[in-house]
Amino acid sequence: MIIGCALFMELLDSTAVLTALTQIATDFGEASVRMNLIVSLYLLAAALFIPISGWLAERFGPRRVFITAICLFMLCSLACAASASLLQLSLARFCQGASGALMVPVGQIILLRGTSKANLMRAMAFLTMPALLGPVLGPPLGGLLVTALSWHWIFLINLPIGLLGIVLVMRHVPDYCGQQQHPLDKVGFVLSSAALASLMLAFESLGHGQLLGGYWPALLLATGIVFGGFYLHHSKRYPTPLLDLSLLRIPTFGIVLLGGMLFRLGSAALPFLLVLLFQVGFGLSALQAGLMTFAGGAGALVIKFISVRLVRRFGFRRILVCNAIIGAACMALCALLRPDTGMVLTLLLLFSGGVSRSLQMSTLGALGYADVSREQAGQASTLSAMSVQLGMSLAVCIAALLLGLIQHTNGHGVPAIEDIGLAMALASLLCVLSALIFSRLGQESGQAVARG
């Protein structure tokens, strides 16, 4: 839970800031379109520093790196709140993204070091709970802070959370010593960071509807692919590569990484489309639309208390396959929501979707590391964090592109309810595809974790 709270702080901040962009633009006297820098630079820094997180944790000890990352995140949050111009805020957000990139993978390494296979499922259930609640609570909390106080408090709220986290980490988290002896793969770091940064910025540009607005997203995408190819070539020849892609040969880890990314591509598009549906389609305020998402957060919380028993009863393969289809069905049914749909029915549907996503994330987190040794924990955690970061960014891109194409086809200047609904239905097909990937798992996959 301590490690999960650090993840919660990062995700709460990254989603809450979206509600403050308009007020920040007004205070700085900048055009609203330039506020995209605040989001893009954060994602860029995260992409640059995720690859090195595992090496740092193994070299200097995960607890030391984890505490350092929290301290840096707090200092950067204070710098964000003290910023008096867009340039200052953008630089502070870049540093904040770099420190946030270290918290998640390093936190998972601590968890894998100190948790037996038997308790991994239960631990992952608690770890993913704050991760799911952060994006749910971020928009309404951000809207409340901006309305009642000012945008500065979106960053200042990180200070007490971070201080509490440091105290709890020092008191309860063991100080595992560093184990890594090999030197840093500097060439691999440059190539992997360049590839990830280019891809993240390309997806971010595409997600903001810039596909037809110039060559910049296409150039970034091509650059990311080229650097990625260079890294693949380098990793096959370097004895200790920064990102050990041979881990993908572990059946459970490889299938979970691929299937999990597909599921996230579909499910992570839903919050973006729901906000549009509630605000543009239904005419709700930003705060009202944010409060509607609490139903999904409640579902995510409730299922945590029985997720371990469900996996023990039905097994990893059956849970992942069936739940991916259930998650797709919940998304498709959201496409049928209308302004006159009963509130109880709407909340029940959002609650069910939250249950499905939460159960899937907990199950994926436990199974992915079921056959990974403690010596491989750093590399596996880094690859997993990269997959999540790319998947979340690409999900918004896919949702925005689908919606833009549907709008253009239907000749609508602004998204209509039917346009948003069709985009939801199409995005749900990605969850169905993930079920096909999960069906490749063996019936006995993850039994050592499930039996607990």
Which token pair is 444? 């006995």
Give the pLDDT score at 325.
93
3-state secondary structure the chain: CHHHHHHHHHHHHHHHHHHHHHHHHHHHCCCHHHHHHHHHHHHHHHHHHHHHHHHHHHHHCHHHHHHHHHHHHHHHHHHHHHCCCHHHHHHHHHHHHHHHHHHHHHHHHHHHHHCCHHHHHHHHHHHHHHHHHHHHHHHHHHHHHHHHCCCHHHHHCHHHHHHHHHHHHHHHCCCCCCCCCCCCCHHHHHHHHHHHHHHHHHHHHHHCCCCCCCCHHHHHHHHHHHHHHHHHHHHCCCCCCCCCHHHHHCHHHHHHHHHHHHHHHHHCHHHHHHHHHHHHHCCCCHHHHHHHCHHHHHHHHHHCCCHHHHHHHHCHHHHHHHHHHHHHHHHHHHCCCCCCCCHHHHHHHHHHHHHHHHHHHHHHHHHHCCCCCHHHHHHHHHHHHHHHHHHHHHHHHHHHHHHHHHHHHHCCCCCCHHHHHHHHHHHHHHHHHHHHHHCCCCCCCCHHHHHC
Q: How confident is the model at residue 46 (pLDDT cuts 50, 70, 90)?
A: confident
Quick check: is 226 in a domain? no
Per-residue model confidence as pLDDT tens digits over 379-400: 777 777 777 767 776 776 777 7
Does residue 444 share a domain with residue 337? yes
What are 289's two structure tokens?
A: 């639309």
pLDDT at 418: 86
- Looking at residue 21, what is its pLDDT? 67
Model-level pTM?
Answer: 0.74
pLDDT for the residue 143:
65
Cβ–Cβ < 8 Å for 129, 4: yes
Q: What is the average per-residue pLDDT within 131-153? A: 68
Question: Would 180 be classed as within a structural domain?
Answer: no
**Residue 24 contacts residue 72 (beta carbons within 8 Å):** no
- Highest averaged pLDDT of the listed ranges 76-85, 118-127, 299-308: 76-85
Domain-embedded: residue 213: no
Residue ending a domain, among 174, 194, 221, is: 174
Q: What is the pLDDT of residue 378?
A: 66
| Pair (289, 437) in one structural domain | yes
Domain that holds residue 93: 1-174
Contact 323, 363 (CB under 8 A): yes
Residue 206 lies in a domain: no
Q: Within this chain, do residues 147 and 257 fall inside the same structural domain, yes or no?
A: no
Q: Which residue has the higher pLDDT, 144 or 265?
A: 265
Q: Residue 373: which residues within 8 A CB-CB, separation 6 or more?
A: none
425 domain-assigned: yes
How far is Cα 399 from Cα 392, in angstroms, rounded to an integer? 11
Residue 211 has pLDDT above 50, yes or no: no
Rounded CA gap, 168 and 164, in Å?
Answer: 6
Flag whether 218 is in a domain: no
Tens digit of each residue's pLDDT (9 = 90 or more) over 66-84: 888 888 988 998 998 888 8
Q: 361 and 128 in contact (C-beta within 8 Å)?
A: yes
Specify the pLDDT at position 329: 92
**What is the rounded distance in angstroms from the CA atom of residue 41 to the CA atom of residue 112?**
30
CATH code for position 276 = 1.20.1250.20
Amino acid at 275: V
pLDDT score of 212 = 43
Residue at token pair 């549906």:
277
pLDDT score of 138 = 65
Do 153 and 267 belong together in one domain?
A: no
Least trusted range by pLDDT, from 75-89, 91-105, 109-123, 422-436: 109-123
The pLDDT of residue 445 is 67
32: pLDDT strictly greater than 70: no
- Residue 24 shares a structural domain with residue 119: yes
The stretch 279-284 carries a mean pLDDT of: 75
Q: What proportion of the chain, given as a percentage, has pLDDT over 70?
A: 75
Please check whether residues 132 and 1 belong to one and the same domain.
Answer: yes
Domain count, the chain: 2
Res. 33: pLDDT tops 60:
no
List the structure tokens of 372.
């990974």
> Whose structure tokens read 């069709």?
422
| pLDDT on residue 284 | 73
> CB burial class (10 A; 0-12, 13-18, 19+) of residue 55?
buried
pLDDT at 241 exceeding the cut of 60: yes
Query: What is the C-alpha to C-alpha distance for residues 369 and 358, in angstroms, rounded to an integer?
Result: 18
| Residue 226: per-residue pLDDT | 92
Q: Tell me the mean pLDDT in the region 236-249.
A: 79
For 228, residues 6+ apart whose C-beta sits below 8 A from its C-beta are 195, 199
Domain limit, last residue, from 141, 174, 207? 174
User: For all residues of the chain together, what is the average pLDDT?
Assistant: 77
Residue 215 falls within a domain, yes or no? no
Q: What is the pLDDT of residues 2-22, one digit of tens each?
A: 777 677 777 766 666 766 666
Query: Do 146 and 274 share a domain, yes or no?
Result: no
Q: Please give the average per-residue pLDDT across 60-69, as a whole number.
A: 82
Q: Which residue has the higher pLDDT, 73 or 244?
A: 73
Same domain, yes or no: 160 and 260: no
pLDDT tens digit string along 324-368? 999 899 888 988 888 888 888 888 888 888 888 888 887 887 777
Percent of the chain at pLDDT exceeding 90: 4
The residue among 123, 105, 126, 5 whose CA lies nearest residue 47 is 105
Residue 404: C-alpha distances to residues 18, 29, 34 (Å):
20, 29, 21
pLDDT digits (tens, 9 = 90+) for 148-186: 777 788 788 888 888 888 888 888 777 766 565 677 778
Q: From 174, 190, 221, give the residue that closes a domain.
A: 174
